[in-house]
Amino acid sequence: MIAAIVLAGGASRRLGRPKQLVAYRGQPLVRRIAIEARAACDRVIVVLGANEAQIRPVLEGLAIAIVSNAEWDEGIASSIRAGVTEARAIGAGAAILLTCDQPALDARTLDRLIAAYRSGAPIVASRYSGAIGVPSALRCARLRVAPRAPR
């Protein structure tokens, strides 16, 4: 089983409002990416944190799991940790890490990523503008979820 983990817990401080709720083609970004991920993946996990009360309602009616990340202010690593923990709990063999701020991302792109992963590569990542990043796919067993560092 392949689970998509949508990382949507950030505060969007630079934007000044929840980026997850920015409309693109008539839908909030977070809802749009959850729908695209659901079309390509067996399960979808959306990790929320900052502004959860505002964001959660736009995900209603979707066949997804929502994980609350109380430690969202630690950064994206805490959301990855929360998402991977949930993916393992539901028995996912692989996870695709996604963010909600890539409006051009669609199910076809995710299908190509999954095909590359299924061809035997242990880790597959996207490349754009000379950088490697999300979405990326990897075996859940390869993900080492370190406990939160003490403060």
Domain ranges of the chain: 2-142
pLDDT of 126 reads 87
Separation of alpha carbons 2 and 110, rounded Å: 11
Collapsing DSSP to helix, strand or coil, 86 comes out as: helix
Q: What is the pLDDT along the chain (151 residues), one digit of tens a residue?
A: 999 999 999 998 898 899 999 999 999 999 999 999 999 999 999 999 999 999 999 999 999 999 999 999 999 999 999 999 999 999 999 999 999 899 999 999 999 999 999 998 888 888 888 888 888 887 876 555 555 555 5
pLDDT of 129 reads 87
CATH topology for 2-142 is Spore Coat Polysaccharide Biosynthesis Protein SpsA; Chain A (3.90.550)
Separation of alpha carbons 73 and 80, rounded Å: 13
pLDDT of 140 reads 73
User: Which residues lie below 8 Å from residue 117, measured CB to CB, with a gap of 6+?
Assistant: 2, 94, 124, 137, 138
**CA quadruple 106, 112, 115, 119: dihedral sign:** negative
